[in-house]
Structures are given as C-alpha cells and as structure tokens.
Structure 1
C-alpha cells in the first residue's frame, strides 16, 4: 500500500550557546525530524526565543557539535544575539517586541 499524501519536509534545528568568555557561540545541539522537534520543544519550554531561517540552519548543520560557529557566520549570529537581548529588554519593560533580523547570508560571503 502506498501513501500518496504529501510528506512534510524533514525539519531541522540547531541550538547555539554563547558565554561571554568564549570567542564565538558553539553548536550545542542539532538534528533532523524528531530530534529537531525535541530541540524546539525544549527551547520553548525553557522560554528560549526561536528564530526560523532554513538557510542559516542549513549552514549551521555543517558545524560539528561543541564546535564554534565559523567566522563567516559571526555577523549574522551577532545580529541574532542582539535581537534576543532586545526581546528580553522589551519583555521586561513591556515594550513591543522588535522585528526579527534578516538572516540571509549574501552569496559573496560564502
């Protein structure tokens, strides 16, 4: 018996962690399908902001676990971190949440 229903594409997720003493954020979790769903679920339960960018996730999936992000992604990830800090500040002060940054990576940088 065949299933002709359209299949949902495999979801991917990457979790980053950054401590102020580190030179760059590290990939602390990554996965596809059920693992990706679990990463997202854990982040949501912990109140961690989630940003969706298929292009960025695809690039980060190439980074080994516990490895720092490559220099080519520093600016993009820095913009995401700044956005997260603005979200936290807005939530504390009751201000509107800032719009998500554009995380597209110019082809000239890759």
Structure 2
C-alpha cells in the first residue's frame, strides 16, 4: 500500500501599489501559512487559492517583483479582487466594465 506524503499548506502574499509590478511580501508553509491567511482575512483581503501558482511564487525572495511571465495571470487575479471589493481603477466605469476612453 502506497502512503501519500502529508500535505503542506502554503501561502504567499503580494503587494501591489498600482505603479510597479506586484511584489512578494510574505510566504510560508503550515503554521506560517495559516498566519498569513488569518491576517488577510482579518484585513478583509480576498483570498485566491491556486497551489501551482503559489508554488511558483514561493520561489521568489521577499520583496522581489513577480516575473513578467506571470503579469497577465496576476493582473487577472488583482482585477477579480478589486471587483469583489467594488473597487475600480481611476477612469473605469463599473457599469460597462470598460475604461471611459475605450
């Protein structure tokens, strides 16, 4: 009988200021991952679960910008998080989901 290894919970946190590429601000597994998740929940930050993306981002050093290869993926996640919080970038009209100048 094959035993499956125990699963390890991983979590990462990104910071995005709207000006530069998102940066890794926290990462950890097990108890630290739980703390990262708890802090995000307390702050009302939407959580996004994707084990493969987390594994990729966990290879970054703290403070490092995300790789250009992940810009579109992370941008889509940030856009979803903004919409969940009813936040929109300046010049965006939420009724049409298009920039005012488009």
Q: CA deviation at 1:88?
A: 1.1
Which segments of 5 or more consecutive residues in structure 2 lack a partner in the other structure? 88-102
TM-score for both structures, normalised by structure 2: 0.77
- Residues 57-107 of structure 1: per-residue CA shift (max 9 Å, x gap): 0000011100000001100000001101111118xxxxxxxxxxxxxxxxx
User: Are 1:86 and 2:83 an aligned pair?
Assistant: yes
Q: CA deviation at 1:21?
A: 2.3
User: Distance in 2 between the 1:16 and 1:32 partners?
Assistant: 15
Indicate the residue corresponding to 2:45 in structure 1.
48
> Which protein has the bigger helix share?
1
SS at match of 1:89: coil
User: Distance in 1 between the 2:6 and 2:50 partners?
Assistant: 17
- What is the Cα-based RMSD across aligned positions, in Å? 1.6
User: Are 1:69 and 2:66 an aligned pair?
Assistant: yes
Q: CA deviation at 1:7?
A: 7.0
Runs of 4+, deviation exceeding 2 Å: none
> Which protein has the bigger strand share?
2
Indicate the residue corresponding to 1:37 in structure 2.
34
SS at match of 2:84: helix
